[in-house]
Amino acid sequence: MSGPAIALHGGAGNLELSSDSRFQISTELDRVLKLAVGRLEAGEAALDVVEFVVSLLEEVPLLNAGIGGALNAHGEIELDAAIMCGRRQLAGSAGALRRVRSPIALARRILEESPHVLLVAEGAEAFAQECGLDLVEPGFFETPQARQRWQEATPSDHSNTVGAVARDRAGNLAAATSTGGTTRKHTGRIGDSPIIGAGTYADQHAAISCTGDGECFQRAVSAYDFAARLNYKADSPELAAHAVLEKVHTLGGTGGLIALTNNSRPIALYNTKHMAHATWSEGLDFRIAF
């Protein structure tokens, strides 16, 4: 099977979620998935679809990306995102953003218009401005829920990063991830999400977006490890996904991932209590789950 397919996630986490939160997140994932499916069915490119999906999820206040991003040690919000095109193996990513309304839109501009892969902090915001992207005041992203999580101080809370992987009708793959990082992280901390090979990766054979204890995913180079296991060991996608999370576990972390290969159904796997996710492949799957 190699028709269009997509998976998206709203983050892996271990905090208990109220049934109300689960319902709201499921409703949002369902809405976004249906829009994405429409675009894939219409023949839109995987790269455009994952950017579109993640840009919508960034605007969902319940999720930890864009609006609703986690507050750092100083009670400020610093956002990270990455996108990668499997066909061209081009990537764009940005970290420690305080004023860029859509981090994933900036990552896409970096992919298309910059000679660089990763821009951070004020330099990244200057590039956003050069591109004419929307800048906002830092307070724009703050929600009462994120402020409350910060006050209750759950330092390892990494819930609700968002991401998407897609395969388009031409068989091309793409991956995108966006996050506010961990609550009470040090200022300037960059997790796995915007690091190509750690939290986000795509090539001609695989696309993957991770969520979880970002430092463990960085040390394990998890996203590329998934691709390497497929390409070098001929692991099945399921086996590779299990092995990637097992490695994260041996490094002391938990998390989850969504992935696609050029001929697999969407994969969604996690070793946390939950990972909000939604998957679709033409004629085979349509699923919203925690």
Distance CA 88, CA 219 (A): 26
Do the strands 255-261 and 206-212 form a parallel or antiparallel pair, or are they unpaired?
antiparallel
Give the count of beta carbons closer than 10 Å to the beta carbon of residue 235. Answer: 17
98 binds its own copies (CB under 8 A): no
Is 182 marked active-site? no
Distance CA 58, CA 206 (A): 24
Q: Given candidates 46, 53, 60, 118, which one binds its own copies under the rule CB under 8 A?
A: 118
Strand partners, 206: 261
267: enclosing H helix or E strand: strand 267-270
124 binds its own copies (CB under 8 A): yes
Give the count of beta carbons closer than 10 Å to the beta carbon of residue 96. Answer: 21
Three-class secondary structure of residue 256 per DSSP: strand
Segment 223-282, which members bind its own copies (CB under 8 A)?
Answer: 224-225, 228-229, 232-233, 251
Between 115 and 283, CB nearer to its own copies: 115
205 binds its own copies (CB under 8 A): no
What is the distance between the terminal CA atoms of the chain, rounded to a whole angstrom?
25
142 binds its own copies (CB under 8 A): no
One of 27, 143, 161, 200 is an active-site residue; which one? 161
Q: How far is the CB of 256 from its own copies (least distance, A)?
A: 19
Between 69 and 95, CB nearer to its own copies: 95
Distance CA 278, CA 147 (A): 27
Q: How far is the CB of 118 from its own copies (least distance, A)?
A: 4
Q: Contact at 8 Å (CB) between 212 and 89?
A: no
90 binds its own copies (CB under 8 A): yes
Between 11 and 253, CB nearer to its own copies: 253
Q: Given candidates 49, 83, 190, 267, which one binds its own copies under the rule CB under 8 A?
A: 190
Three-class secondary structure of residue 76 per DSSP: coil
Between 60 and 198, CB nearer to its own copies: 198
Q: Judging by beta carbons within 10 Å of its beta carbon (0-12, 13-18, 19+), is residue 148 exposed, middle or buried?
A: exposed
198 binds its own copies (CB under 8 A): yes
Q: Contact at 8 Å (CB) between 163 and 258?
A: yes
User: Half-sphere exposure (CA, 13 Å, Cβ side) for 126?
Assistant: 5
DSSP for residue 288 = E
18 binds its own copies (CB under 8 A): no
Map residues 23-52 to x or -, x wherever contact with its own copies holds by CB under 8 A.
------------------------------
185 binds its own copies (CB under 8 A): yes
138 binds its own copies (CB under 8 A): no
Between 15 and 90, CB nearer to its own copies: 90
Residues making contact with its own copies (CB under 8 A):
78, 84, 89-91, 95-96, 114-127, 155, 185-191, 195-198, 201, 214-215, 218-221, 224-225, 228-229, 232-233, 251
Catalytic residue annotation: 161
